[in-house]
Amino acid sequence: MRVLSGVQPSGALHIGNYFGAIRQFVELQHEHDCYYFLADLHALTSVHDADRLRGLVTDLATAFLALGLDPGKAALYRQSDLPEIPELTWYLSTVTSMGLLQRCHSFKDKVAQGVIPSHGLFAYPVLMAADVLIVRANVVPVGRDQKQHLEVTRDIVASFHATYGREVFTMPEPMIGDEVAVVPGLDGQKMSKSYGNTIDLFGPEKEIRQRIMSITTDSTPVEAPKPKEGNALYGLLKLFAPAGERAWVEAAFDEGGTGYGEMKKRLFAYYLATFGEARRRFEELRRHPEEVEAVLRSGAERARAIAVPLMDEVRAIVGIR
């Protein structure tokens, strides 16, 4: 089964990105034919500094490899390295109704947040559809709150097939796995770059420690039991604690006698145990950017081996030579 997903290089990766997506991507590569892309074309709706965008793309590719993506099993490529994607986006846009795009939650949410709505932001779902269709993906991993993205892609496919009376695209299905735990941020809200409450995966160790020690807690005395509901520190400890230490986490909150400061130090130790090897690998790869670039070029070649013949069919169907 061919799996497709992408990550937008819009900022430093944090632990929410890992537990919410990248960990699943690494696991899927062992069972499926996986294609993962770095969505630099999508990022242009929010990143308008060329050097920064190039740096973010390189760091994101480096992070994928450091976290366990095997380029021998999964293709990793830059979205912009497939010129067939923007070409297909235009063909799809000619059969996509305005009403379909106006109903998309993500566009409405961003406008409500005060984002100036560009055409690129409005037409974002059409580019997403091209991303999926260009490699003939069978399934796309999505959370339950992201199903609309793939439903739009399926609507666009149906419209194209109905318009031209030919079926050329693979109709993708959603891959909805087990519910992924919401990763709490430093302030107790969902971890997000937009809230400024993240713990980076590859930031300086001293800075990571400072951020963990700054996690918002209440004034419960050391000797007293600690509340669990809505407690960001408890949520993060549960997420990171190895199986043999989960009982310690529960006892620390239920029985009292352990201060929040000691808990935060324990969380930092868990963080280093979880990501220490990946962080070392990340720094090593950073010293050899040519290795990362070679992986991206190889991944693009694998993806284009599917995209080029598909686009030959699409051009013939729409009448473009």
- CA-CA-CA-CA torsion sign (57, 60, 66, 67): negative
d(CA 29, CA 25): 7
Intervals of CATH 1.10.240.10 along the chain: 193-283
Of the listed 73, 190, 228, 265, which one is catalytic?
190
pLDDT at 177: 67
Known catalytic membership, residue 228? no
Characterize 42-67 residue by residue with b for buried, 16 or more Cβ atoms within 10 angstroms of its Cβ, and e for exposed.
Answer: bbebebeeeeebeebbbbbbbbbbbb
Known catalytic membership, residue 73? no
pLDDT at 143: 72
Q: What dotted CATH number matches 193-283?
A: 1.10.240.10
pLDDT at 321: 82
In the chain, % of residues over pLDDT 90:
84
Residue 195 has pLDDT above 90, yes or no: no
Of the listed 73, 108, 147, 193, which one is catalytic?
193
Say whether 34 sits in a helix, a strand or coil.
strand
pLDDT at 145: 64
Say whether 190 sits in a helix, a strand or coil.
strand
Residue 266 has pLDDT above 60, yes or no: yes
Intervals of CATH 3.40.50.620 along the chain: 2-181+289-318
Say whether 291 sits in a helix, a strand or coil.
helix
Of the listed 73, 108, 110, 147, which one is catalytic?
110
The whole-number average pLDDT for the span 74-94 is 98
The whole-number average pLDDT for the span 219-231 is 94
- Residue 179's pLDDT band (cuts 50, 70, 90): low
Of 49, 40, 52, whose CA–CA distance to 7 is shortest?
Answer: 40
The whole-number average pLDDT for the span 312-320 is 97
Per the CATH hierarchy, to which homologous superfamily does domain 2-181+289-318 belong?
HUPs (3.40.50.620)
pLDDT at 110: 76
User: pLDDT by residue (tens digit) across 17-51?
Assistant: 999 889 999 999 999 999 999 999 999 998 999 99
pLDDT at 113: 75
User: pLDDT by residue (tens digit) across 276-297?
Assistant: 999 999 999 999 999 999 999 9
In the chain, % of residues over pLDDT 70:
98
| Token pair 């497939």: residue | 82
The whole-number average pLDDT for the span 262-270 is 97
- 31's CB contacts (< 8 A; 6+ apart) are none
The whole-number average pLDDT for the span 52-78 is 97
Known catalytic membership, residue 193? yes
- Residue 104's pLDDT band (cuts 50, 70, 90): confident
Of 31-40, 139-148, 311-320, the range with the lowest mean pLDDT is 139-148
